[in-house]
Amino acid sequence: MPPARPLSLVTGASAGIGATFARALAARGHDLVLTARRRDRLETLAAELRQQHGCTVTTLAADLSDPGTPKALCEEVAQRGLVVDWLINNAGYGVPGNFTANDWHTHADSLQVLLTAPVELAWRLLPGMRERGYGRIVNVASLAGHVPGTAGHTLYAPAKAFLIKFSQGLALESRERGVHVCALCPGFTYSEFHDVTGTRALMNKLPGFMWQSAEAVVAEGIDAVERGEIVRVTGRVNRVIKSVFKLVPDRLAMKLAARQSRRYRTQGAA
């Protein structure tokens, strides 16, 4: 049985899908630990949630590109006497431009945030969930992890594909111990993501039906992980896209992906 007031740790909680997860979980009666780099935004969100829902909110400003951060976060949570029941691995960003157009440090930071940090947080928090017989882990992946890789954002889609496979294996290991793991795979979502990557002008060319609100994505994610669904592609349009790329031959799928990539990706200098 879940605790009366589950505690959720949400990474990348200062905006977008992360902040929306925090609001949705607070409305469901959760207490929260929120982490992101921007302390001021975390504090503003925490004050909002305390006032609206009467929940306990702990804010821990941290940079997940630092390899020591996941361990430090979990130690800080434990020192405060907090027990994490839900882990929302949401933090992430894309690095636009061709692979060699960015220095290695930029790529290494990105991989730390997208891959190593969520895996380590799960590794550190999962044993307690299994011992208590209850836990939920949502790894925010992407529709990009289901379709062929494309030029530009060279590491983003492969990283999300890894999160999907990781979630599948972890779910199968954990489901008999009361822990549900779900890879949440949104497509284009209204958030700050494309502002950060500098692709907002390109994204504005996409038709409206391609987009989902962060609220819709989060609602599907919470419902999916509660049901024990291991992989959830959000939105009917995105599920159709996934099915099409799964059914067509690889060579044709690559051509389709490359054509769309040229329209909506910034590839930068070689």
CA 193 to chain centre: 12
Sign of the Cα torsion 160, 162, 164, 166 reads negative
Which residue among the candidates 93, 134, 156, 190 is catalytic per the annotation?
A: 156
Alpha helical stretches, state H, the chain: 16-27, 39-53, 69-79, 104-111, 117-132, 156-174, 193-196, 200-203, 214-227, 236-247, 250-264
Q: Is 156 a catalytic residue?
A: yes
Query: Phi/psi class of residue 6: alpha, beta or left (left: φ > 0; alpha: ψ in -120 to 50)?
Result: beta
Sign of CA dihedral 30, 24, 117, 66: negative
Q: Which residues lie below 8 Å from residue 19, measured CB to CB, with a gap of 6+?
A: 13, 41, 45, 214
Residues designated catalytic: 156
